[in-house]
Structure 1
């Protein structure tokens, strides 16, 4: 029997991530549906923190929340510098930027449909 991707798990994980980011006062949260576009994950979430300290704190807390609620250890890169932190939870890739770094890389533009905005989350 073929295995079917567990979208319920990735949707629940996405909801947990968005709640954690909102609770920690992340700014300009954008979620991008990657299903059918790439095998790296089901969703990408991009957000900003106001300072290197906040970017690192948001990332650390998010990784701990994922571990506590799902038993998953996330791969984290960039936490020590706090300019751009990548958290790979398996199904959802999260990027936490300082605003200046986010503006420079414009990662959202790479993944948005041509001519269409990303799906913003509050």
Structure 2
């Protein structure tokens, strides 16, 4: 998949490439949350952790590079200055990369999961 026109890239392809990049770059505790029909913001949300601020920034920057190279996407990225919480927004899929302490504080998974359900951990 090299340089597909953005209009031809599906949210499933984006999600698959995101999960592959996160795995390749040693992101931890990767959780995928299906938001289709729940919000108009995005179809999927992915939450993961890096062990340090440096790793959080590195995971996010490498993800942006992979999406650009492989799918021709130019996602927005925010938060790389501090490395506590970096957000990568592709439009269809939003990725949150946290330091573990910051992730625990905000608990995004709990906010977006239906009552009684747990997030789908990606292995």
The question of a shared fold, defined as TM-score above 0.5 by the shorter chain, is answered with yes
1:47 alignment counterpart: 48
Counterparts of 1:76 and 1:23, CA distance in 2: 19
Give deviations 1:10-57, integer Å, cap 9, x for gaps.
011101100100110000000000100001111000000000000000
Per the normalisation by structure 1, the TM-score is 0.92
Report the aligned-residue RMSD: 1.2
For 2:14 and 2:44, locate their aligned partners in 1 and report how far apart those are by CA, in whole Å: 10
Give the 5 Å matches for 1:20-59.
20-59=21-60
Q: Return 5+ residue gaps in structure 2 as ranges.
A: 1-6
Q: What SS is found at the alignment partner of 1:25?
A: coil
* 4+ long deviations beyond 3 Å: none
- Structure 1 residues 68-77 or 29-38, which shifts more? 68-77
SS of 1:116 mapped into structure 2: coil
